[in-house]
């Protein structure tokens, strides 16, 4: 069944979301009239290749003409009128920039697919489900509510900014007319005073409108800042910690789809606000006056929204799957030289126009700032395909990601034949290395450098080093959530038995599908730490099972 037909059968709550996808840029009427043809085109490809976009755009105009002829034969005046209006609008707005309409259509089709998936998941679960099908906490419900509020405020503000244009044009016209009359010497004193009073009233009304909008925009940016901190400093940070725990056998990490939805929504709202700020600049260039609030506050608003968007994009670039050798899936973050390993990065801002636009480069031990390799540590080169282009994978809900499947490490040899043990500050299995991913984003006139990195990895040269290396990975991820602390083992912190016991239970669970019981943990504690621990675990067990 065609996608558009499936959408028509959704419940009212989903149809309401569908209605919000369409605007004058891409009218729903056009989606209805040309549904099969629209779904048969590769809009994502057209959005990134101008020649193909031009061809598709002209074909679109041809399809409109065919529909118009059909309605002409049916004597359907209303549909004829609507199609004529739509075609004129498309020609005037997109004839010189066909890639823009391709991006808009690609986004709408993608949102439609996401809406269908949400409805399908909810129907299968027999309840109103979240798009990711996972449980939503009260805190996350508040976050979603805040994001919805931001979207509504952005839409409302957009209409108000557009409303500013009309009084500005009227004032500009009246001022020019008054100046023209004065130059022609046709003005009279009384008429001039009356005209000046009228112009002052119009200017006062315009100034009040502008001040209201600037104030609302500043408040909206503050709300965006608050929500963004919740997303990046709390939700995303929580996910990264859960990823650490999952790497050492803990509970499986939840997927990133929900975070991606939230972050993409906020990024879209930020870009809309940035366009509104640019519109204010255009209005100010047409009509300006002493004390104009746009002149006073627009630069600060522009700087604030650009900073928010840059920081959001940087936070949204993450390592979705940590480095791991395929032959040892239960021992991630331990890599043997000369053996292929895989890893995957993802951008949580899901813009179709970025598909196939971001080239990711991977390197190891990139020294920057206060994060540097330990003196005397081994140096490595990354071999294999160390550059990949991000693309939207159909298998993963269309996420914008890049998977590296054929990477290997080779140690750099010094002139004296390599490093001796006396050269190093740490033993081999306690050396920590960072794998870094870099790319550049060019979007709407902004250039943003993105960088993310893996959790610290241990590099071994012989498989017999695996147990010690894995012990280092366990200890690091058990005791710290610092993502770049390669100096960790120069002065490692002390762990408690409670922490060790939990990790040991995870290890058994990941292998046998069953964790250790309290009796088994007590026995291990007694053998490892002595009889004094037995008393502690007796009370621990008693309180645990009360």
> pLDDT by residue (tens digit) across 422-441?
445 678 999 999 999 999 99
Mean pLDDT of 128-157: 75
How many distinct structural domains can be found in the chain? 3
Per-residue model confidence (pLDDT) at position 538: 41
Backbone torsions φ then ψ of 256, nearest 5 degrees: -95, 0
Select from 73, 90, 125 the last residue of a domain.
Answer: 125
- Pair (297, 335) in one structural domain: no
Please check whether residue 85 lies inside any domain of the structure: yes
- Pair (325, 373) in one structural domain: yes
Mean pLDDT of 200-229: 87
Instruction: Please indicate whether residue 186 or residue 198 has the higher confidence score (pLDDT).
Output: 198
Which pLDDT band, with edges at 50, 70 and 90, does 85 fall under?
confident
For 335, the enclosing helix (H) or strand (E) is strand 334-336
Per-residue model confidence (pLDDT) at position 375: 58
Per-residue model confidence (pLDDT) at position 421: 44
User: How big is the CA angle at 96 (ends 29 and 268), to the nearest 5 degrees?
Assistant: 60
- Pair (298, 188) in one structural domain: yes
Task: Read off the pLDDT of residues 379-422 as tens digits, 9 standing for 90 and up.
Answer: 999 999 999 999 987 555 688 999 999 999 999 876 544 454 44
Per-residue model confidence (pLDDT) at position 308: 97
- Pair (200, 295) in one structural domain: yes
- Pair (245, 331) in one structural domain: no
Instruction: Please indicate whether residue 129 or residue 92 has the higher confidence score (pLDDT).
Output: 92
CA 174 – CA 182 distance, rounded (Å): 12
Please check whether residue 111 lies inside any domain of the structure: yes
CA 485 – CA 433 distance, rounded (Å): 9
Per-residue model confidence (pLDDT) at position 129: 42
Please check whether residue 505 lies inside any domain of the structure: no
DSSP 463: G
Please check whether residue 284 lies inside any domain of the structure: yes
- Pair (223, 74) in one structural domain: no
Please check whether residue 63 lies inside any domain of the structure: yes
Distances (CA, A) of 333 to 325, 404, 437: 8, 15, 16
- Pair (144, 111) in one structural domain: no
**Closest residue by Cα to residue 297 from 209, 217, 204:** 217
Residue 78, number of CB atoms within 10 A of its CB:
8
Per-residue model confidence (pLDDT) at position 103: 81
- Pair (310, 380) in one structural domain: no
Instruction: Please indicate whether residue 174 or residue 479 has the higher confidence score (pLDDT).
Output: 479
In the predicted model, is pLDDT for residue 78 greater than 80?
no
Query: What is the b/e burial string over 337-358, where b = at least 16 CB atoms within 10 angstroms of the residue's CB?
Result: eeebbbbbbbbbbbbbbbbbbb
For 17, the enclosing helix (H) or strand (E) is helix 12-19
- Pair (164, 278) in one structural domain: yes
CA 17 – CA 12 distance, rounded (Å): 9
Instruction: Please indicate whether residue 131 or residue 382 has the higher confidence score (pLDDT).
Output: 382
- The predicted model scores a pTM of 0.69
How many contiguous H segments (helices) and E segments (strands) does the chain have? 17, 11
In the predicted model, is pLDDT for residue 121 greater than 90?
no
For 105, the enclosing helix (H) or strand (E) is helix 98-125
Coil, helix or strand at residue 128? coil
In the predicted model, is pLDDT for residue 130 greater than 50?
no
Task: Name the H helices within 184-292.
Answer: 189-229, 237-247, 257-286
| Strands across the sheet containing 435-443 | 387-389, 359-364, 435-443, 446-453
User: Is-contact 443 275, C-beta < 8 A?
Assistant: no
Token look-up 């004094």 returns: 532
pLDDT > 70 in the chain, percent: 81
Tell me the DSSP string of 477-542.
HHH---TT-TTGGGSPPPPPHHHHHHHHHHHHHHHHS----HHHHHHHHHHHH-THHHHHHHHHHH
Mean pLDDT of 185-202: 60
Please check whether residue 181 lies inside any domain of the structure: yes
User: Is-contact 115 7, C-beta < 8 A?
Assistant: yes
Select from 90, 125, 160 the last residue of a domain.
Answer: 125
- Pair (98, 20) in one structural domain: yes
| pLDDT-wise least confident of 15-24, 173-182, 279-288 | 173-182
Beta-strand relationship, 334-336 and 458-460:
parallel
Per-residue model confidence (pLDDT) at position 27: 84
Mean pLDDT of 78-83: 82
| pLDDT-wise least confident of 41-55, 303-317, 380-394 | 41-55
CA 240 – CA 237 distance, rounded (Å): 5
CA 267 – CA 348 distance, rounded (Å): 10
CA 533 – CA 335 distance, rounded (Å): 36
We report the CATH number of the domain holding residue 73 as 1.10.532.10
Task: Read off the pLDDT of residues 226-247 as tens digits, 9 standing for 90 and up.
Answer: 999 999 999 999 999 999 999 9
Task: Read off the pLDDT of residues 242-282 as tens digits, 9 standing for 90 and up.
Answer: 999 999 988 877 778 899 999 999 999 999 999 999 988 88
Select from 315, 341, 356 the last residue of a domain.
Answer: 315
CA 88 – CA 77 distance, rounded (Å): 17
Please check whether residue 487 lies inside any domain of the structure: no
We report the CATH number of the domain holding residue 344 as 2.60.40.630
In the predicted model, is pLDDT for residue 220 greater than 80?
yes
> Which residues, 6 or more positions from 293, have their beta carbon under 8 angstroms from its beta carbon?
207, 210, 211, 214
User: Is-contact 484 453, C-beta < 8 A?
Assistant: yes
**Closest residue by Cα to residue 355 from 98, 45, 41:** 45
> Which residues, 6 or more positions from 394, have their beta carbon under 8 angstroms from its beta carbon?
none
pLDDT > 90 in the chain, percent: 36
**Closest residue by Cα to residue 529 from 501, 488, 492:** 501
Per the prediction, the chain carries an average pLDDT of 81
In the predicted model, is pLDDT for residue 29 greater than 90?
no
We report the CATH number of the domain holding residue 202 as 1.20.1050.20
> Which residues, 6 or more positions from 418, have their beta carbon under 8 angstroms from its beta carbon?
411
Please check whether residue 483 lies inside any domain of the structure: no
In the predicted model, is pLDDT for residue 522 greater than 90?
no
Per-residue model confidence (pLDDT) at position 462: 94
- Pair (64, 175) in one structural domain: no
Per-residue model confidence (pLDDT) at position 340: 95
- Pair (22, 67) in one structural domain: yes
Q: Which domain holds residue 401?
A: 317-464
Mean pLDDT of 148-155: 91
């Amino acid at each position: 069944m065609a996608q558009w037909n499936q959408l028509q059968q959704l419940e009212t709550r989903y149809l309401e979301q569908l209605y919000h996808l369409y605007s004058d840029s891409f009218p729903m009427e056009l989606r209805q009239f040309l549904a099969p043809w629209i779904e048969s085109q590769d809009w994502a490809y057209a959005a990134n290749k101008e020649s193909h976009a031009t061809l598709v755009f002209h074909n679109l105009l041809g399809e409109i003409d065919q529909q118009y002829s059909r309605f002409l034969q049916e004597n359907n005046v209303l549909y004829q009128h609507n199609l004529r209006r739509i075609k004129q609008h498309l020609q005037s707005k997109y004839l010189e920039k066909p890639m823009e309409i391709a991006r808009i259509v690609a986004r709408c089709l993608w949102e439609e697919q996401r809406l269908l998936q949400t409805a399908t998941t909810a129907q299968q679960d027999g309840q109103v489900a979240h798009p990711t099908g996972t449980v939503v906490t009260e805190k996350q419900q508040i976050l979603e509510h805040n994001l919805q509020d931001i979207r509504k405020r952005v839409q409302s503000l957009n209409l108000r900014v557009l409303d500013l244009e009309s009084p500005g044009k009227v004032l500009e016209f009246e001022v020019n007319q008054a100046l023209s009359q004065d130059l022609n010497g046709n003005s009279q004193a009384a008429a001039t005073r009356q005209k000046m009073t009228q112009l002052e009233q119009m200017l006062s009304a315009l100034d009040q409108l502008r001040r209201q909008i600037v104030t609302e925009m500043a408040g909206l940016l503050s709300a965006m800042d608050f929500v963004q901190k919740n997303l990046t400093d709390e939700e995303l940070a929580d996910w990264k910690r859960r990823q650490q725990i999952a790497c050492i056998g803990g509970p499986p990490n939840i997927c990133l789809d929900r975070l991606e939805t939230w972050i993409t929504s906020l990024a879209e709202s930020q870009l809309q606000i940035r366009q509104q700020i640019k519109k204010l600049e255009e209005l100010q260039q047409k009509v300006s006056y002493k004390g104009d609030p746009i002149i006073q506050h627009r630069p600060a608003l522009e700087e604030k929204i650009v900073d928010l968007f840059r920081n959001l994009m940087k936070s949204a670039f993450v390592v979705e799957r940590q480095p791991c050798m395929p032959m040892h899936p239960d021992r991630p973050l331990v890599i043997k030289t000369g053996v292929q390993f895989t890893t995957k990065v993802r951008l949580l801002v899901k813009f179709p126009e970025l598909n196939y636009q971001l080239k990711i480069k991977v390197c190891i031990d990139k020294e920057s700032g206060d994060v540097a390799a330990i003196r005397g540590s081994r140096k490595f080169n990354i071999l294999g395909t160390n550059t990949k282009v991000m693309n939207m994978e159909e298998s993963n809900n269309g996420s914008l990601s890049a998977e590296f499947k054929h990477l290997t490490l080779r140690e750099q040899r010094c002139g004296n034949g390599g490093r001796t043990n006396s050269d190093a500050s740490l033993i081999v299995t306690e050396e920590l290395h960072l794998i870094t991913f870099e790319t550049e984003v060019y979007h709407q006139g902004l250039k943003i450098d993105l960088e993310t990195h893996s959790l610290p990895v241990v590099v071994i040269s012989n498989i017999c080093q695996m147990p010690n290396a894995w012990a280092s990975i366990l200890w690091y991820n058990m005791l710290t959530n610092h993502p770049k602390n390669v100096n960790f083992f120069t002065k490692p912190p002390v762990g408690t038995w409670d922490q060790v016991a939990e990790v040991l239970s995870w290890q058994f669970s990941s292998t046998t599908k069953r964790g250790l019981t309290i009796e088994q943990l007590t026995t291990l504690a007694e053998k490892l730490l002595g009889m004094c621990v037995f008393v502690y675990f007796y009370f621990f067990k008693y309180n645990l099972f009360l």
